[in-house]
Structure 1
């Protein structure tokens, strides 16, 4: 049985990377175990690790659930200067989603449940 999960992205400069992810996640890291490393617990038992190192281009995407994908896209384009990304949907899929990259080439994304009954982020 799985009890916890961590996902790691790498950035070339930890100070720059930590600041970018603080803005992306709207908060400071939950844990900085040592130099060159910062961690955010996104939901209980699910951690995003940002580590200094050579990024693995093309990995991911790591998708994060949000309540309003359009508002979050607008915020990220404005605050982090990411490229405007398309929000996709399909009738048979219960979410809308979109994908973008951080400045180091790590693929990230957002999703929003179409039906409020499905939403687990509220």
Structure 2
């Protein structure tokens, strides 16, 4: 039985990387176990590890669900100078999405559920209400 998940991105400079991801998540890391490493629990049991090292090519994207894709895109353009963040949708896909990269080439993205009733039920299930 799987009970948690972690994924890792690598950055060449951990201080710059930590600051960039702090801005992305609008908060400090949840756990810094040692030098060169920081972790955020994105939702319960799902962790993103940022480690100092050589970024991997052609990995990802790691896409995170948000409730306001356009608002998050505007924030990232303003606060992190993201310049390539187009939003896509397809009739047969129940979400719209966009992909961008961090300064180290790690591919990330956001997606938003189109059916807001389903989205509200998902949020209730996650937060336990």
Cα offset, 1:121, TM superposition: 4.2
2:49 maps to 1:49? yes
Residue 21 (1) aligns with residue 21 (2): yes
Q: How many residues align?
A: 122
Aligned: 1:68 with 2:55: no
Supply the RMSD in Å over aligned alpha carbons: 1.0
Q: Which runs of 5+ in 1 are unaligned?
A: none
Q: Which has the higher helix share?
A: 2
**1:50 aligned counterpart, secondary structure:** strand
Residue 95 of structure 1 aligns with which residue? 95
Unaligned runs of 5+ residues in structure 2 are 125-129
Moved over 6 A (4+): none
TM-score after normalising by structure 1 = 0.96
TM (norm. structure 2) is 0.91
